[in-house]
Amino acid sequence: MSMQDTPDDAVGRRHDDRSLRERIGAALRSRVALGVALLLTLVVFWILGQRNGASLSDLLSLTVWGIMLGGIISLGAIGLTLVYGVLKFPNFAHGALVTLGAYGAFTIASFLPRGPVLLPFSFGWELLAAMVLAMPAVSLVALVVDRVLFRPLRQRDASLVLLAMASLAAAFFLRSSIYLIWGPDFLFYYPGRANPALHLPLGIRIQADQIFVFVLAMILVALTWLLLERTRMGKAMRATADNPDLAQVRGINTERVIAWTWVLGASLAAAGGVMYGLASQLRPEMGFWLLLPMFAAAIMGGLGNPVGAIVGAVIIGIAQQVSSSFINPAYGPGVAFVLLVIVLVLQPQGLFGKGGD
């Protein structure tokens, strides 16, 4: 879709009578400049890492882990960007859907018979089944929240701020439900089960689970892309995101499109939560911590643009992981935030966003 966007370098070539300062400002705010700035940031992170004594294979491993992390972030970011596109508000409750997916799968898996470990991975079929079941469960929660909270606001044409505020309320409601049901302690899908790293060429160390997470994320992303590009409902989603009024005029039942958007977004969020939980552990705040990277990825890719969100997520994943070679890993979300600020300052429309110049 908007991937065909030609980068807007016409700004520089256009015959113009603006002052040099204005022209430099405009050039700095173009999409190319944003891409270059993001790339430079990654390069700087690499150099900083090397200065701090990280070896080349360490940095390569970190980069690969970053791509894996990007896969997880992208699952959340796609949902965020779709909801943003179709419903036109930042959904602060999206992180809570991620958490809910992880915990929901935990509970579902505990009811399923435990199968053999699928070597070289650390999990069995039951976790995959639990994930598949958690996706509709979380979708249902999202639909209920929409029906109770967002739909009345939508019908009243409520302002963006009120919708954002409502999503904040939903976020805290879901988070407190998670605390109430599962408690504040960390949980593990498979406590104590190790997943030793595989040794790949170039000295890259990586866990089989991480590869699985990435591959699964990419499969889901590809399916989402197919859905959006090839199916009637997917095209209707894009149409509604593009122009909600016209979508109504064309006879598209926008409430149904919105419902499917929630289902898609929540399912991907739930899957992302399970993978995040598999890669680390289950914490009630895990989704909230992902919220900032997800928003950063969605904005970086251009709000409403799923393909952009994936690119943004991978950039942010790499930046977060590589940055841990020279600063405290706890600052991961902070790194996402810095990238977000770069995007907002240079080009708030993001790398592939529509409109603006």
Residues at the interface with another protein (CB under 8 A):
1-2, 4, 89-90, 92, 148-149, 152-153, 158, 160-162, 164-166, 168-173, 175-177, 179-180, 183-184, 232, 235-236, 238-239, 241-243, 245-254, 288, 291-292, 295-296, 299, 328, 330-331, 333-334, 336-337, 340-341, 344-345, 348, 354
Amino acid letter, residue 230: R
Q: Which is nearer to another protein, 128 or 340 (CB)?
A: 340
- Cα 113 off chain centre by: 31
Interatomic CA distance for residues 297 and 121, integer angstroms: 28
CB 342 → another protein: shortest distance, Å?
9
Would you tell me how many other CB atoms lie within 10 Å of the CB of residue 129? 16
Burial class (CB in 10 A: 0-12, 13-18, 19+), 342: middle
CB 344 → another protein: shortest distance, Å?
6
Amino acid letter, residue 3: M
The answer for residues whose C-beta is within 8 angstroms of residue 194's C-beta and 6 or more apart is 122
Q: Which is nearer to another protein, 139 or 167 (CB)?
A: 167
Q: Which is nearer to another protein, 40 or 198 (CB)?
A: 40
CB 117 → another protein: shortest distance, Å?
30
Q: Which residues pair with 124 in a beta bridge?
A: 117
Q: Which is nearer to another protein, 153 or 286 (CB)?
A: 153
Interatomic CA distance for residues 28 and 67, integer angstroms: 27
Q: Which is nearer to another protein, 168 or 206 (CB)?
A: 168
CB 197 → another protein: shortest distance, Å?
26
Q: Is the distance from CB of 297 to CB of 312 less than 8 angstroms? A: yes
CB 2 → another protein: shortest distance, Å?
6
Q: Which is nearer to another protein, 7 or 136 (CB)?
A: 7
What letter does residue 206 receive in the DSSP assignment?
Answer: E
CB 333 → another protein: shortest distance, Å?
6
Of 29, 106, 116, 148, nearest in space to 282 by CA: 106
What pairing do the DSSP bridges indicate for beta strands 197-199 and 205-207?
antiparallel
Q: Which is nearer to another protein, 190 or 331 (CB)?
A: 331
Two tokens, residue 337: 């935030």
CB 64 → another protein: shortest distance, Å?
25
**Burial call 315-328: b when 16+ CB within 10 Å, e when fewer:** bbbbbbbbbbbbee
3-state secondary structure of 18: coil
